[in-house]
Structure 1
């Protein structure tokens, strides 16, 4: 199940599974797929996993887990690319003249 906002819907899913007596904390997690896609746009040919929350500094790009490994990026590059990924949603909201969410298209 992919849902947005992940920080709200994962706890809801947990409660549904608990009620059905099928909850397993080791099998339920939130994946910020939107942030992974944004990261791919920023990092181009490097696949960088993204974990954490779904807003600002809670979004963490895991360059140590990047595939293929890229030793060409400096610490400054990594810091700048991480910030660009963290600010992706804000950029969309600003582009929409702050008249909506960071969602470009709704399911």
Structure 2
């Protein structure tokens, strides 16, 4: 199931599954692929590497300052990024959804990103 907002729906689904007696903590998780894609893209641009070769962990929630890209853990490593670069990339990642909405001149949300999420899910299921 793909649903938004992930911050709210994962705990809700967990409670529903618990009441139904089918809850398995190893099979329920929330993924904010949009935030990962934003962080990878912004990092790759600044580090001058291919996005396809970047591994970027992002933890936290899926709203503003709750999104925490772990640029220090990104691979490939880049020594070209200053502390100011990291701060700017973090802020941009945290506001990535807003950036998409603004680029659409307020005529929609980031829902088109769900196609990318589905690609990730299909790839993960096949491995």
Structure 1 portions without partners, runs of 5+: none
Q: Please tell me whether the aligned partners of residues 31 and 51 of structure 1 are also in contact (alpha carbons under 8 angstroms).
A: no
> What is residue 42 of structure 2 aligned with on the other side?
42
Match of 1:54 in 2: 62
**55-64 or 38-47, which moves further after superposition?**
38-47
Deviations 1:52-92 (A, max 9, x none): 11121111011222112223211111111111111111111
Report the counterpart of residue 102 of structure 1 in structure 2.
110
User: 1:38·1:85 contact (CA, 8 Å) conserved in 2?
Assistant: yes
Stretch of structure 1 that moved more, 18-27 or 84-93: 18-27
Count of residue correspondences:
107
CA RMSD between the two structures: 2.2
Which is richer in helix?
2
Q: After superposing the two structures, state which structure 1 stretch, 40-49 or 24-33, moved more.
A: 24-33
Other structure's SS at 1:51 match = strand
TM-score normalised by length of structure 2 = 0.69
